[in-house]
Structures are given as structure tokens and as C-alpha cells.
Amino acid sequence: MDKITLGTRKVSIEFPGVKALSDVDFNIETGVIHAVMGANGAGKSTLMKVLAGSNPDYTGEVLYNGKPVQLRHPADAKKLGIQIVYQEVDMALIPTLTVAENVMFNDMVMNMGHKQFVNYGAIRRKAKETLARLNVNLDVRRWCGTLTLAQKQMVLIARAVQSACNFLILDEPTAPLSDTETEELFRVVRHLRETENIAIIFITHRIQEVLQICDSYTVMRNGEIVDTTPITPQTTSKEIVDKMLGRSFEENFPKVACDIGEKALVIDQLTEREGRVKDISIYVRKGEIVGLAGLVGGGKTELCKTIFGAYHKSSGRVVLNGKELKIKNPTDAVKNRIALVPEERRKEGVLVAETVTFNTAAACLEDYCTLSFVNDRKAARRAKELVESLSIKTPSVKQRVAYLSGGNQQKVAVAKWLAADCDVYIFDEPTKGVDVGAKQEIFHLINEIAKAGNCVIYATCENSELLSITDRMYVMFDGQIMAELETSKTSEDEIMHYATGAATKYAG
Ligand SMILES: Nc1ncnc2c1ncn2[C@@H]1O[C@H](COP(=O)(O)OP(=O)(O)OP(=O)(O)O)[C@@H](O)[C@H]1O
Ligand SMILES: [Mg+2]
């Protein structure tokens, strides 16, 4: 099959105070799966937006099959068959339309005004054909609002390949997916490379995935391209990480031994009103990091939210230091010195229209207030400390969070609660979308929090993280606790045994 090439020559983009891309020469051809790697804020998404026509103010040139083209509007890119699926799949889908309508969305919009009637039979048929091309089994009559994240992503990929598609950009597609869902996505991606000669540009922070599925990779650092090379059986994750961070880096998250004190947080037979968590009894001692393990959808997020008052409990008690807490909403939880770093950072974790300082001060405003004046200088000083300790990439603490890269927004969501002085810290997937360097810094800070005698709950589906940072863990399945495990005595196998709902005792 004929190859099509796409390349940039000296492409640069400047935002106020940030040189996001400098003289980038990026090249790709059809029929390969190519990874773009780099620390948070390196410029990956900015470069992809140039290729997708949504960063019109770039300087330099884009070449399509060697000929200069202008990508000043998403339509310019689509015409050349360059399609992008952004990470926030919810923003691109219309939940009140069916799968068929969402897959055929571009067609339907284009034809509006030309035809008076929508031929729903044809739309369903074409959507079915497209999904069949991907080997995806999904009822096209379902409302998109009822789909899982992984299914929504398939709908968007189907939409992309339904139109002309030579280059498919996937910006962190696997971040919210479970292992099996990721496998399914990889199957579809390979299928597109093999049968349709499409190039897939794949952004992720999980290096194992790159080694597993990509043919080649590009590393970006500080808005520049550091290296582009094929992936061979000899490629190691360490060499990629070193290139990303520009220094030699050992990936290890040593657990800091803390003095573990008495039981401080006791959750007693907690049940959520809609049954999303059922009859949960767990405890956390002072200085202890307790994991919540389980697959995506196992109920970890729901439990975190119920403890925090974001979901309503129908029965059960939350007791802290011997006192039963009355938590009806998150405000009550914060008053009782409980913090939650939520999973959905853009929706719940940060106020994107506000500055970094505002966000890091928001959880503990009274610390910065005398009478009714906010002490801006003190708040800014604390924000600067946090920016430094988490390496948040921003031109200043006055920057609006909306202008930070995805991973840096996540770090602000974590920083916000680190700045608050609480007794219980609940983290729900805090490392999703953050680079390996920042992950280590977040682990370090969580260790510090525990060392200061606080209770930490750490929910994640990354079993390796649970094994390295927690003291003990509870494994959830279908909103219930299946097992309580000592971290030093368990294994990934044992966690998976209970996470998949086995009621029998793990035999080893
Ligand atoms: N609209 C904007 N206004 C101002 N600065 C921006 C804007 N978009 C991006 N930036 C800045 O450009 C730099 C590159 O951001 P980009 O989103 O491309 O990073 P990234 O490599 O995708 O990181 P991540 O892994 O965190 O998603 C960052 O410093 C970011 O703050
Ligand atoms: Mg990004």
C-alpha cells in the first residue's frame, strides 16, 4: 500500500509566558503505531493540536506528502484524513444521542441544511458497518450516555475512521481504562494499522504500553523533540524515561516506614443510598496508608465519595478518633478534616478558570484569612512551595489552571489538598495522567502525610502502586469488600483473585 507522510518543519507555538513548541520537526508515515512521550507539559498535546488544526497560530510549516499545507482549522486537518480523539471523551460525545448518531455525527452535521429528513435506517446501517470494521460489538441503538468510558472511546474511534482517516491521534486514551479494556483498544488499533494502513499516534504515560504496542517513538522535552527511534526488543523503559526527564532516573517508590498508631478512622457498615457501596467496614490507623484495590467499576470511587459525603449514605457510621461524624456533604467532611483528591480532575478536582494560587488555597481558606481579608502573599508563597515540590510546570502561580497541561492540572488537584491540614486524606487514582517523575514526587508527599500521623486511603487499580506504597489494603468487587490483605504478605495474583470477584480463598 502506498505510504502517506505527514511532517512538521520548525513548528513553534508561544503562549503568554510559555514557549510550548520550539522548532519541532516531527515525521510520521501511514501504517505504523507511533508513541509520543514526554513529561507533563512537554508539549505533546500542543503538537497534536497543531496537526489536528486546532492550534492555528503556529509558525513553521506542515508538510503532507512533502507538500506544504495549512492546518488553520479542524476542517483543514479532517480533509487530509487527520483525526484526533481527545482524552475527555465525554466532551466530544452527545449522551442523548444513540451510538449510531454519534458515530455518524460528522455526516449528519454536514448534511444538515441540504436534506430535510434524516434517514435513520441508513445512519444505523453505516454505523453498524463502521463498528464491524473495527470488530467492535456494540448495539447502535443504545444511548451514548449509558456506555462505559471504553465503549465511548470506541464510538469516537469509529467516528474518526468513518470519515477519511490516514492519521489517527489518540491523546492518552488508556488513562481511564482497565487492563482488559486497554487490550481491546490495542486490538482495534493494531487492526487499523494492518487492514487499513492507518498511522496511529499514541500518547501515554505508561511506558510498558509503548513497548508492547508501538513500532517507534518520539520523546519530547520542554517543547522540543529529543529523539525519534524505532522500538526493538532491546528498547528499555529506563532509556525512554531518561530521555524524557533528561537525566538518569531510577523508578522506585520505596515505602517509608512510619510509626503506626491506634485505629483513628473507623467505617462501620457503610451503605450508599443507591447501593453503589454495600455494608463496608474498614479502618485506618494513624500513620497508616491503606489501599483500596479493585478493577475499574469495582466501587472504589463510590466508597471514597460516600465517606466524603459526595454520595449519600443510607446506613452505617463514620467514626474519627472515637467520635461519630455527621457528614451530609463534602463541606461537612472538610470541616471534620477529611480531604478527597477525586479521580475526575477537570470536573471535580480543580477550578480551571481560577489561578494556581486560588486552587491551592481553596481547601484551607481560613488559614489565609484574617477577619475577611485573604492574605494573598501568604497564599502565593504556599502555592510556590507546592509548585516546586511537585514540579508543576507553569509560568507563575498566577496562571489559570485551564492553561496548564493535563498532568499539571492533576498535580494542582493533589497540591490543593496537600496544602490543607487534615487528619484523613483520601486519594482516588492520584497518578492518572502524571509522568513518572511526578508520580514519585506524589508518593513522596503521601509518605510525608502518613509520617505526620495522618490516615491515608489510597484507591487505585494499579496493583504495583498498591504493593509499593500501602501498608494494608482492602480489595473491592461490585461495591463490596472481598478481602483484607497485608501488603508485605500479598501479591498481584492474590489481589486480582479477589478483584475479579472470587469468593473462594486464594490458594496461591
Ligand atoms: N492555551 C494555552 N495557554 C497557555 N499555555 C498553554 C496553553 N496550552 C498549553 N500551554 C502550555 O504549553 C505547555 C505544553 O502543554 P501540553 O498540554 O502540550 O503538554 P503535554 O506534553 O501534553 O503534558 P501532559 O502530559 O501533562 O498532558 C505547558 O507548559 C502548558 O502549560
Ligand atoms: Mg497532554
The whole-number average pLDDT for the span 177-196 is: 90
Co-location of 367 and 465 in the same domain: no
pLDDT at 363: 67
Residue 292, domain member (yes or no): yes
By CB atoms closer than 10 A (0-12, 13-18, 19+), residue 307 is buried
Identify the residues whose C-beta falls under 6 Å from ligand 1. Answer: 15, 18, 20, 38, 40-46, 393, 403-408
Of 39-53, 135-149, 190-204, 286-300, minimum mean pLDDT range? 135-149
Percent of the chain with pLDDT over 70: 94
CA-proximal residue: ligand 1, atom 8 (nearest): 403
Task: Using the mean position of ligand 1's atoms as its centre, give its distance from the Cα of residue 393 in Å.
Answer: 9
> Which residues crowd ion ligand 2, with CB under 5 Å?
45, 405-406
pLDDT at 375: 64
Residue 75, domain member (yes or no): yes
Higher pLDDT pick, 381 / 25:
25
CA-proximal residue: ligand 1, atom 2 (nearest): 403
The pTM score is: 0.87
Confidence of residue 112 (pLDDT cuts 50, 70, 90): low
Co-location of 42 and 128 in the same domain: yes
Report which ligand 1 atom has the smallest distance to the Cα of 16: 4
Summarize pLDDT for 360-396 with one digit per residue, the tens.
887 665 555 454 555 678 888 888 998 998 889 999 9
Co-location of 413 and 437 in the same domain: no
Co-location of 209 and 146 in the same domain: yes
CA-proximal residue: ligand 1, atom 1 (nearest): 403
Cell 484507591 -> residue:
459
Summarize pLDDT for 52-63 with one digit per residue, the tens.
999 999 999 999
Residue 96, domain member (yes or no): yes
Co-location of 413 and 427 in the same domain: no
Range of the domain at 353: 349-421
pLDDT at 360: 83
Which among 349, 351, 343 has a CA at the least distance from the CA of 401? 351
Co-location of 395 and 434 in the same domain: no
Summarize pLDDT for 486-499 with one digit per residue, the tens.
999 999 999 999 99
Report which ligand 1 atom has the smallest distance to the Cα of 404: 31
Task: Using the mean position of ligand 2's atoms as its centre, give its distance from the Cα of residue 172 in Å.
Answer: 7
Co-location of 400 and 443 in the same domain: no
3-state class (DSSP) for residue 501: coil
pLDDT of residue 252 exceeding 80: no
Percent of the chain with pLDDT over 90: 63
State whether the Cα torsion 207-352-87-43 is positive or negative. negative
CA-proximal residue: ligand 1, atom 31 (nearest): 404
121-156 burial code (b ≥16 CB/10 A, e <16)? eebbebbbebbebbebebebeeebeebebbbbbbbb
pLDDT at 247: 83
pLDDT at 437: 87
Residue 330, domain member (yes or no): yes
pLDDT at 254: 67
Total domain count for the chain? 3
pLDDT at 120: 84
Of 153-167, 213-227, 361-375, minimum mean pLDDT range? 361-375
- Considering the chain, what is the average pLDDT of its residues? 90
Confidence of residue 345 (pLDDT cuts 50, 70, 90): low
251-283 burial code (b ≥16 CB/10 A, e <16)? eebebeebeeeeebbbbeebbbeeebbbebebb
CATH number at residue 56: 3.40.50.300
Co-location of 121 and 267 in the same domain: no
Report which ligand 1 atom has the smallest distance to the Cα of 42: 21
